[in-house]
Amino acid sequence: MSEHRKVIVIGSGPAGNTAALYTARAGLKPLVLAGFGAGGPPGGQLMLTTEIENFPGFPSGGISGPELMGRMRQQAMDFGAEFKDVDVSRVELKQSPFAIWVDDTQYTADAVIISTGARSRLLGIDGEEKLIARGLHTCATCDGAFYRNKKMIVIGGGDTAMEEATFLTRFGDVNLVHRREEFRASKTMLERARKNPKITWTLNEQPLEYLKRENGTVCGIKARNTKSGQVTDIKADGVFLAIGHIPNTDLFKGQLKMHDNGYLVTGHEAGGPTGHPNTYTSVHGVFACGDVQDHTYRQAITAAGTGCMAAIDAERWLAERE
């Protein structure tokens, strides 16, 4: 069984939903294969957050992640986008039309927009997926403001940990917990954090499990000192993980050009048009937007912005071929 579409969007976070809205309004009747994403429900990483206070247009308290994603999806559907909550199992991008499988069902498309996002690396302890947004966080920019005048733990020793720890000192005190004494972070960012009097440093500590309040929310970590072997409770009001992100690009290995860190290469570096930013991947007709191709900004609003770009790129590319 095979169904053909002009445009298929893979992924339904802010990038995919925006790409769906724009391609739907352009009359391209996109099919959105929505289920591939942060390992959670369709809608991507924002389904794992609570209030979003930094998406423009929602004053007086913001909007919840699931509600924003639900609204974006509805808006795209209002213009004719079709959503299927399924995980893509395989793609074949070296043929025309492109082929996409969901188990045994095959779809073909003239253009594909990839918006499969990225997921935060987790420690892999304690069933932690269920603790996210319950005292455990993976994005300081998103959730830091909930910890005004509170104590926070940041786990990690890379640039993200330094950046997030420094950012979080706007709100309260930060205890940076890292498993070694050496840092992967760049010298500049490490120095900047080191000079910050609101950051304390707890080194050589490997987290073992989360400490929890009676209501199940996270209030610290139990960690083992890698030198002495001693196990201690490190308490705080909330814990931020900053141990890296993993782009959801396994599906495209060997088919699309990727950076060493697994993110998709887009724009003129991928063989797209020169002279302006664009969402072309190394296969013409396949476009990528959102966190799957962005390890720098990683914000809902930037993902939505590139989703819009991908839709316009796809629409123009299709029009040129017709």
Residue numbers annotated as active site: 139, 142-143
Is the Cβ–Cβ distance between 308 and 291 less than 8 Å?
no
Per CB under 6 A, the list member of 35, 117, 156, 285 interacting with ligand NDP is 156
Q: Binder to ligand NDP among 158, 267, 285, 290 (CB under 6 A)?
A: 158
Binding mask 203-232 for ligand NDP (x = CB under 6 A): ------------------------------
Q: Which of 77, 123, 203, 234 binds ligand NDP (CB under 6 A)?
A: 123
Which residue is at the shortest CB distance from ligand NDP?
158
Name the segment binding ligand NDP (CB under 6 A); options: 28-36, 178-186, 299-307, 308-316: 178-186
Long-range contacts of 84-91 (CB under 8 A, 24+ apart): 84/31, 84/32, 84/33, 84/34, 84/35, 85/34, 85/35, 85/42, 86/33, 86/34, 86/35, 87/33, 87/35, 87/36, 88/10, 88/33, 88/35, 88/36, 88/251, 90/251, 91/10, 91/251, 91/252, 91/255
Residue 294: CB minimum distance to ligand NDP, A? 11
- Binding residue (CB under 6 A) for ligand NDP from 4, 180, 316, 321: 180
> What is the spatial distance between Cα 39 and Cα 24, in angstroms, rounded to a whole number?
26
Task: List the one residue from 25, 134, 184, 192 that touches ligand NDP (CB under 6 A).
Answer: 184
What is the number of other CB atoms lying within 10 angstroms of the CB of residue 65? 24
CB of residue 163 vs ligand NDP: minimum separation in angstroms?
5
Question: Under a CB-based contact definition with an 8 Å cutoff, are residues 110 and 300 in contact?
Answer: no
We find the least distance from the C-beta atom of residue 180 to ligand NDP, in angstroms, to be 5
Subset of 256-295 contacting ligand NDP (CB under 6 A)? 295
Burial class (CB within 10 angstroms; exposed 0-12, middle 13-18, buried 19+) of 255: middle
State which of residues 23, 49, 160, 175 lies at the interface with ligand NDP (CB under 6 A): 160
CB of 113 to ligand NDP, least distance (A): 24
Query: From the CB of 201, what's the least distance to ligand NDP, in Å?
Result: 13
Residue 244 contacts ligand NDP per CB under 6 A: yes
Give DSSP secondary structure letters for 232-283.
EEEE-SEEEE-S-EEES-GGGTTTS-B-TTSPBP-GGGGT--SSS---B-SS
Q: Is residue 148 helix, strand or coil?
A: coil
The nearer residue to ligand NDP, 35 or 238, going by C-beta atoms, is: 238
Full DSSP string of 81-120: -EEE-----EEE-SSSSEEEEETTEEEEEEEEEE---EEE
CB of 244 to ligand NDP, least distance (A): 4
Q: How far is CA 275 from the centre of its chain?
A: 27
Residue closer to ligand NDP, measured from CB, 124 or 197: 124
Stretch that binds ligand NDP, among 65-73, 177-185, 195-203, 265-273 (CB under 6 A): 177-185
Residues that bind ligand NDP (CB under 6 A): 123, 156-161, 163, 179-180, 184, 243-244, 295
